[in-house]
Each structure stands twice: as C-alpha cells, then as structure tokens.
Chain A
C-alpha cells in the first residue's frame, strides 16, 4: 500500500521522499488543492469515493493506509 501511495504522491506533486510518517502539510508543504488532487488520484486508482469531510482527517501517510484498511481497499 505504501508503494502505491508513494507513486500517487509522486505523480501528482513530484515529491518523492515519502514514508509512513510523512505529514502532508508539514513535511511535503502541500496545500488543500494538492491534498485534494492526491485524493482524486487515490479514488481513481481504487475506484472509490472519499467524502470531503473525511479527507481533512487524513494528515499523514499512515492515516491513509489505516483508512484504506478500514474500508477494505485492496492493492
């Protein structure tokens, strides 16, 4: 899962140093548009919809992995 997220983040923002602890805002200096663009790519990859209100709860890569696991999204 981490690799997929790394790939998505790289494709959308060009940032490559992403680990499980990476914080989108603090470490990658992303703004709300960048975060949304990542979410859109993520939705497309997994053929799912993430409600906007849930997006703001995803601060770090680990939150995304946890979120995907809770919803049974498989690689």
Chain B
C-alpha cells in the first residue's frame, strides 16, 4: 500500500538540540498546562519550559552529574517534566521510577540503576531517605514547592541561569552523544522481572518524531499517562511538543475526569482502561436519563447505514459526545487490547480511536493507526524508523529506536536481541497485505491489564508457594464478567494434602483466603489476587516439572 504521511516531523539527535529546536520554532505558544486544586489553569510556554530545563541542565552539568544516573520519584507534575528534560540535556540519564510500587521496590529500583541523585516530590521524599546509608548515597532534590532544607529543581534553574547566560549559544557546553543513554525506564511487571531498559537520545526522539507522522491529534492534547512509562513520556509528552501542540497534563485518577472536562482537548492519549471507563459512563448516564433503549436503536441504525456506505453521521450522537467530553474527537489508545465494539461505537459518536502498539524496549512505539490509514482491530502501520518481521508468529523489530540494552544485564539483553540487531518482542502477531500489524497473543506468560500494566504469574506464584498450605499453584488472568475481556488475577491452588487432612474445602478456602489477603495488602490494586479455586488433583506437568499452563 502506498502511503503518504500526514505530517512532516522534526527529528532531533539529542535532548539539548530538541529543546533548542522546539523553543526556536514555537517560542511563546502554550506548551504544558495543568490545573490547580481550584481548577485554575497554569500554562507554561515553549520558551519557559525549555528555558527552565536548559538552566537546570547547566546547573546539573556544573555539579558534575554528566554521565551519571539521576532518578525521578514523583507523581506526574510540571516539575517532573523539567527534571527529566534537564537530566537528559545535562548528559546524565533519567531513571524513571514507577511510583505505584511498594516503598521497598522503589528504593530497590533506584539502587539497581546506580542512581547517584533522586528528584522526589514531597510524598516520596521520606521513602528515598529512609536509612542513613541511602541518604548518603543519593543527593536529594525536591520537585514542587521550594523548601529551606532541600534543594529543589527550581533552585537548580536559578543556579544554572547565570551559567547559561555566559554562553554564546545556550546549548553550548551541553553536547551529548546521540547514542548515549538518556533515560532508563523499567519494563512493566513485578520488580524481580522488571528490567531497566536503557534508551538513547536518538532512540527516544526519533520515536517521538515517528509517532506524529500519521496521527493528527489536533492543537490541544490531554494525557494522564504516567511520565515514568515510556508511553507516557515519548508517546504523550515528547511527540506533542515536537509538533508544537499544547499538552494538558494530569496524573491523578481522582482529578482525571475533572481535568479532561477543563482541558477541552482535541485528543487524548491513553490506555484501554480509561476508554472503557468513558464508555461505561456514557451508558450509565443514558440509563439514568431513561434513554438507553433509544440510544441503542440509534446506534444500530447508524451502524447499518455505515455498512451500506450511506451518510450515517447523526446530530443526536454528536450532541451526546459534546455533553460528555466536549471537543474531544481523537483517542490514541495503547498498552493493552481494546475491545473492537467500543472503537466502533465511539466512532459513531464522532470519536476516532487510534490503536497503537509499543514495548518499552522500542522507546516504546512500534506501530500506530493514523487518522487516514486506520484499520480497526489492528495496531496500525509500522513506524518509519522501524522494520517488523514475523518469525514463528513472534513479532521481531529492528531500527533506530531500539534500546541500548538492559542496564547491567548483558545476558538478558542477549536473550532478546539477535546478532544482526533484531529485538524479539515476545508478542505474537501478523502483518496483513497492506502492512497493518495485528497482535494475537503473548509468548511470555504475562497477564496484561487494561491500564497497560503487566504482571508475571511466576512472580506471584513464587509468593503464593511461601504459604505452607499451598503445594502447587498456577496464576492466570481470568475474565471477571463485567466486560468480555476485563482481566483479574486468579490463582488455581492444589493444597498440600497432608496439611489439609480432615479439613473441608470451605475451611481450606477460608484459610487460604486469609493468607492471600495478607499478600494482597502488599500488592498494588491491579496485581491483587481476586479469585481462588481449589483443585483436588495435581497439575499436569512437563518433563522438566513445569506446570503445563495451556492444558489447564
């Protein structure tokens, strides 16, 4: 299929040149907007964001952080972005920490990446200096309001300003190698299996450029994706800024809907969980107003008209959309599978859903549907700087935006990279004759949730096996009935026959439930085990004594 990209993209080699470029090109245009508690918008222009980031970069460089690793531990906020851009521009690597993890995991991730400094918000500062050893190992910087005791990112901006003003060109002295690691991002999943992925300046910035080639997301974009995931950073922040649009940010589920309404965006970049929530709300309000039946018939009629290629656009449906999400008319969804029916129904309301596919190791986007080139059910066309081939049903990727490897894990890197530079994604899929990519499953045993997060069953099984009553266990993703493909974590347990002797199945279940409740209390909400079934027989196993998962 011959394809003409919608947009021209700027490709930058390094973060300093990216900041300099977008600042020159878009100057006083609004770049980042967020809303205060009192619902007041606060907007920073391209000139302001880039000025702050570059000043802080000069300060970090002068403090000797070039070539070192600095972690960011905070919920989404404006300062998070300034810190990230400053760290990468100073020639250091920004270690992005998933703050939904437990306190212990957060500290483990910081030390695993050999970070010498940590940028933390008020909430996370105490977690990052729990022991004296840690307080000595990491220089701490505050994100948010300045305080007397702690140097903040804004202090660094002030510190770097005179250093920058001495230079003829403000990025002088900030030369970076395009192939050097600019960011270390952890793959989704539980910590022991979550790997630190090294992404270079060029990998990230070319990916951001590629992402906008076929997607017209309009002048105002809303995103609540966490910045610590590469999808949130490259897919929402960097690619929006590379084309001069305004990004409205949010990172708190509590205020997400409020901020979405306040933002009145043209598009939203998100995960299936949010799309489904919007869909559910739409039907809930229709039910409440007693109009659900009417709405169903209307949708049915439009569907038939559309199938017959007759004009199907309907004013009632677009009025409902206007009331629900205002001007929003494009949703980019990635990270997990989204039900086709939801995409089809939203389209009738006048909202186009563009699904894409990505993986942290690929910085992260590999393919995306465009406004013009779009096939429902597929994850779109492969990006310009990537090639995809299918080897025994597995998707392999090669190109400019691949990772530099897993940090300090050469063996694991070798396992996923071929000698001629192909990355084995572990996802199964195929390409159709027009070059659209489809995902059919996963090679690895990962349970993928609607928010794009993943959990490895093996890790949870390891925890469950610590309960004496559990002899054998298999953890899997089960449909929970509320929608066809909503996944919950389920465990099938074969109890120790000796320890459970004389107990009724109810007693066994009750005992196991109380132990699992204790385990759940230590896990993030989405990873909690919500269903337990008891088996009266051992699992069928392979020759190497592994449970045959697919035969259960």
Residues of B within 8 A of A57 (CB): 521
Tell me if A52 and B273 are in contact (CB < 8 A). no
Q: Does A18 contact B (CB under 8 A)?
A: no
Q: Does A29 contact B (CB under 8 A)?
A: yes
- CA gap between A53 and B524 in the complex, in Å: 10
Tell me if A29 and B482 are in contact (CB < 8 A). yes
Residues of A within 8 A of B413 (CB): none
Please give the distance in Å from B190's CB to the nearest CB on chain A: 15
Tell me if B277 and A53 are in contact (CB < 8 A). no
Q: Mark B449-489, 1 if CB is under 8 A from A, else 0.
A: 01100000000000000000000000000001110001010
Q: Contact check: which of A32, A43, A51, A53 meets B526 at CB < 8 Å?
A: A32
State which size class the interface on A falls in.
10 to 19
Please give the distance in Å from A27's CB to the nearest CB on chain B: 9
Tell me if B480 and A56 are in contact (CB < 8 A). no
Q: Contact check: which of B273, B517, B521, B524 meets A33 at CB < 8 Å?
A: B273
Residues of B within 8 A of A43 (CB): 254
Q: Mark A32-73, 1 if CB is under 8 A from B, else 0.
A: 110110011001000000011100110100000000000000
- Per the CB 8 Å criterion, the residue count for chain B at the interface is 24
Residues of B within 8 A of A51 (CB): 123
Q: Contact check: which of A25, A32, A52, A53 meets B451 at CB < 8 Å?
A: A32
- CA gap between A25 and B449 in the complex, in Å: 14
Closest to A63 in B: B521
Q: A33-B273, A59-B521 are in contact. Are A52 and B480 (CB under 8 A)?
A: no
Residues of A within 8 A of B521 (CB): 57, 59
Overall SS of chain B's interface: loop
Residues of B within 8 A of A35 (CB): 525
Residues of A within 8 A of B273 (CB): 31-33
Tell me if A36 and B525 are in contact (CB < 8 A). no
- CA gap between A52 and B123 in the complex, in Å: 10
Q: A56-B524, A56-B525 are in contact. Are A29 and B480 (CB under 8 A)?
A: yes
Q: Mark B481-514, 1 if CB is under 8 A from A, else 0.
A: 1100010100000000000000000000000000
Residues of A within 8 A of B526 (CB): 32
Tell me if A33 and B277 are in contact (CB < 8 A). yes
- CA gap between A39 and B277 in the complex, in Å: 17
Tell me if A53 and B253 are in contact (CB < 8 A). no
Q: Does B252 contact A (CB under 8 A)?
A: yes
Tell me if A33 and B253 are in contact (CB < 8 A). yes
Tell me if A25 and B525 are in contact (CB < 8 A). yes
- Please give me the 6 A-B residue pairs with the lowest Cβ-Cβ distance, nearest first: A36-B253, A33-B277, A26-B530, A36-B254, A40-B254, A32-B525
Binding site for B on A (CB under 8 A): 23, 25-26, 29, 31-33, 35-36, 39-40, 43, 51-53, 56-57, 59
13 A-B pairs within 8 Å (CB atoms) are namely: A25-B525, A25-B528, A26-B528, A29-B530, A31-B277, A32-B253, A32-B273, A32-B451, A36-B253, A36-B254, A40-B254, A43-B254, A53-B123
